Amino acid sequence: MEGTLIMTDQDRKRYGRAVEVIEGRMDMETASRLVGLRRRQMARIVARVREEGASGVQHRLRNRPSNHRFGEEKGRAIEQIVREQYGDFGPTLAAEKLAERHGLAVSVGTVRKIMVAAGIWQAGKQGKRHRARRERRARCGEMVQVDGSYHDWFEGRRAKAVLLAFIDDATSRLAYALFVEGETTEAVMTAMWEYIERNGLPLSIYVDRDSIYVVNRQATVEEQLRDKQPQTHFDRAMEELSVQVILARSPQAKGRVERLFKTLQDRLVKELRLRGISTLAEANRYLCEEYLPAHNKRFAVEPRETQDAHRAAPSAARLAAVFTVREERTVQNDYTVRYRNQVYQIGRQQAVRVSPRQRVTVEQRLDGTRHFLYKGVALHVTDVSGMARPRMNGGRRMKTMPTPSRVERWKPAPDHPWRNRPVAEKEAPREGASLAPLSQRPRAKVEEPCHF
């Protein structure tokens, strides 16, 4: 029965060499070398071509089901598990959970075929815009990409939160991550402090142009006179630690951390769901103890150079003095400083002389304490916010007097005993004086003065 035989390029090449061997135009050794097979395998192909013709070069398992194919029952069981428990999982993560939680060692390709056939998964389309990849840094710690993602990480079990992530550019290692309520200066400083204590000081960090990292305004006249660009509190802290801050101009520029959040919003959200985690404290504990090691084991790569570029971490006291919010305040005439609706009295005995109208630096530290500095020297201050402010008279301080409440003056009634009290002999009225009460005595007539 004649028909159409579909052959690949490899099949046609083998068939041509087999025909040449059969016709005596080529020996077996040369034919096997040209097609890249051993002599015994080429001999089998030549024998099958003699018996069957061109179809003898095709593999015997072509168009036949694989001996390692999945059984229908097992496929339906996997489909049911994925549909009920991992409906929004990707094929890769679903295959991992099938092996980890259900003991089903299934390849990612098989899980993808099952999910696509069942309508559970649909592959997305790739973007058409061409972008060139930036080469990774050579050593771990040369550059760390830092960013935060505001997302519903707990799927409604609590309010939305921000995940701050630190990913190393050379190795794609998720060096540190922290759940916080909001991406604030204090939160970023806290996370950076933890990163430094765990890994050391990096040479540079790669961040976006958020107001935490860059001042989006023109320099003031005073800053221009000092030839100093405006800095954020975080930028100033990194400058003191000799860590370079690199600003990205687009989300694609820091694509490594952006792709990290895409992975975390898929995998980490589901891991938190499977464990029923609904608080920031539980989530941060799970991040550090379980998720980060597993994530790095799967996604981290080896750097081009084995030397670690991290520097030794400073002491805790040094980091506490660096990661602060610093602002300047003016000393008032009564040697007080106002800061965030609080009044602080500067003591008389100080290591450095302080005068009114001078500027002191107030440090708001991450632990909630406040430190007052003048020319780098700590000042002894006392919180006097609860005391009344003294009045000033000619530059001299007066004692603080309680302010009386405004009430009407009390007047005795006409029949009050005070008005009709008995009169002693020493208080006897002179002759002709009236004995009537004061309220009943007639008033003397006042004559108008005469003008000449």
pLDDT in tens, the chain (452 residues): 466 777 888 888 888 889 999 988 999 999 898 888 899 989 999 998 998 888 888 877 777 777 777 778 888 889 999 999 998 898 999 999 999 999 888 889 889 989 988 888 887 654 455 566 778 999 999 999 999 999 999 999 999 999 999 999 999 999 999 999 999 999 999 999 999 999 999 999 999 988 899 887 777 777 666 677 788 999 999 999 999 999 988 877 788 899 999 999 999 999 999 999 999 999 999 999 999 999 999 999 999 999 999 999 999 999 999 999 999 999 999 999 999 999 999 999 899 999 999 999 999 999 999 999 999 899 999 999 887 666 655 555 555 555 556 666 778 788 887 777 666 555 555 555 555 555 555 555 545 554 44
Q: Would you say residue 449 lies in a domain? A: no
Q: How many residues does the chain have?
A: 452
Residues 90 and 179 occupy one common structural domain: no
Query: For residue 1, what pLDDT is reported?
Result: 43
User: Counting Cβ atoms within 10 Å, is residue 364 exposed (0-12), middle (13-18) or buried (19+)?
Assistant: middle
Quote the CA–CA distance of 76 and 72 in Å, as a whole number: 6
Strand partners, 364: 325, 370
Give the domain range for residue 81: 72-117
**Domain-located, residue 22:** yes
Q: Are residues 48 and 84 in the same domain?
A: no
Are 221 and 248 in a shared domain?
A: yes
Judgement on whether residues 101 and 246 belong to the same structural domain of the protein: no
Is 404 contained in some domain? no
Q: Let me know if residue 305 belongs to a domain.
A: no
Count of domains forming the chain: 4
Long-range contacts formed by 51-60: CB under 8 A, 24+ apart: 54/5, 54/7, 54/15, 55/5, 56/18, 57/7, 57/11, 57/14, 57/15, 57/18, 58/7, 58/11
pLDDT at residue 268, rounded to an integer: 95
Q: Are 388 and 399 in contact (CB under 8 A)?
A: no
* pLDDT computed for residue 372 by the predictor: 95
**289 lies in the same domain as 208:** yes
The answer to whether residue 381 sits within a structural domain is: yes
Tell me how far the alpha carbon of residue 70 is from its chain's centroid: 44
Domain contains 428: no
Which pLDDT belongs to residue 125? 54
360 and 283, same structural domain? Answer: no
> Is the pTM of the predicted complex or chain greater than 0.85?
no
b/e code 68-81 from CB counts within 10 Å (16+ = b): eeeeeeebeebbeb
Q: What angle do CA 172, 173, 176 make, to 5 degrees?
A: 130
The residue from 354, 388, 422 where one domain ends is 388
Residue 281 and residue 158 share a domain: yes
Pair 250, 292 in one domain:
yes
396 falls within a domain: no
Whether 276 and 185 share a structural domain: yes
- Kindly state whether residue 161 falls inside one of the protein's structural domains: yes
Same domain, 46 and 78: no
Query: 349 and 278 share a domain?
Result: no
